[in-house]
Amino acid sequence: MDKRTQIFGAALKLFVEFGFHGTPTSKIAQEAGVANGTLFHYFPTKDDLIIALFKDSKGKMNNYIADNSVIENSLKGILKGQYLSALYWAMDNKLEFRFIEQFKTSPYLTKIVSEEMEKHLNPLIEMLQKGIIDKIIKDLPIDLLLTIISSQVYGLNNYLVNNDFSKAKQHQIISDTFELLWEMISVNANIA
């Protein structure tokens, strides 16, 4: 394992456990088994480390969703594939998903260039806009629809993490809750 990967692993564990402000870089270096100077060679500031770790984790999640979403021709099928993939990834990558959630509710989010965030959201935004035009998705503001969807994903993840369900039960709950989400955002839940 290279030093950058060691630093990411240690930082991920400590940030999730102690928070951004409760985790000094010296503790990260110690946990990673590297010298402080080595950490600062890769990441000049703790902010740089936090942002790089977010981009890395979010990139892994986005790649997983892109590679594992079952693409169907219907809007409902595409959204369901993305929803299931996001939550399956979250279940298999608990620390990284928790870190992403922690980052998204922190002031660090404002340090990410909006164009970078938009590039990840644009395909979903375009799908929702087309769904509204085609009268499949309720005519609600896009930022509200995104909030509803992300709140569902983060809330369900927390529910699953805090309960001891079998993998099969987790997958059933994830599938069932997509149907609840679809009923909430679709004009007619029976339309795909």
Looking at the structure, tell me whether residues 77 and 140 fall in a common domain: yes
Q: Is residue 191 part of a domain?
A: no
Looking at the structure, tell me whether residues 22 and 76 fall in a common domain: no
DSSP per position, 53-72: HHHHHHHHHHHHHHHH----
The CATH number for 102's domain is 1.10.357.10
Q: In the prediction, which pLDDT does 120 show?
A: 76
Please answer whether residues 6 and 33 qualify as being in contact, where contact means their C-beta atoms are separated by less than 8 angstroms: yes
Looking at the structure, tell me whether residues 60 and 40 fall in a common domain: no
SS3 186: strand
pLDDT tens, residue by residue, 83-96: 999 999 999 999 99
Q: In the prediction, which pLDDT does 73 show?
A: 80
The yes-or-no verdict on residue 190 having pLDDT over 70 is no
Q: Is residue 49 part of a domain?
A: no
Cα(108)–Cα(154) distance, rounded to whole angstroms? 18
Looking at the structure, tell me whether residues 119 and 172 fall in a common domain: yes
Looking at the structure, tell me whether residues 175 and 103 fall in a common domain: yes
CA 142 to chain centroid, in Å, comes to 18
Looking at the structure, tell me whether residues 108 and 133 fall in a common domain: yes
Cα(26)–Cα(32) distance, rounded to whole angstroms? 10
Cα(156)–Cα(90) distance, rounded to whole angstroms? 10
Cα(167)–Cα(158) distance, rounded to whole angstroms? 15
pLDDT tens, residue by residue, 121-139: 888 899 999 999 999 999 9
Please answer whether residues 53 and 12 qualify as being in contact, where contact means their C-beta atoms are separated by less than 8 angstroms: yes
Looking at the structure, tell me whether residues 108 and 163 fall in a common domain: yes
Q: Is residue 190 part of a domain?
A: no
Looking at the structure, tell me whether residues 27 and 106 fall in a common domain: no
Looking at the structure, tell me whether residues 20 and 72 fall in a common domain: no
pLDDT tens, residue by residue, 15-63: 999 999 999 999 999 999 999 999 999 999 999 999 999 999 999 999 9
Tell me which of 2-11, 45-54, 105-114 is least confident.
105-114
Q: Is residue 192 part of a domain?
A: no
- Choice between 45 and 113, residue whose per-residue pLDDT is larger: 45
Structural domain range at position 94:
54-185
The CATH number for 35's domain is 1.10.10.60
Looking at the structure, tell me whether residues 35 and 59 fall in a common domain: no
- Cα-Cα end-to-end distance for the chain: 45
Q: Is residue 125 part of a domain?
A: yes
Looking at the structure, tell me whether residues 10 and 70 fall in a common domain: no
Number of domains into which the chain is organized: 2
Q: Is residue 158 part of a domain?
A: yes
The yes-or-no verdict on residue 191 having pLDDT over 60 is no
The yes-or-no verdict on residue 118 having pLDDT over 80 is no
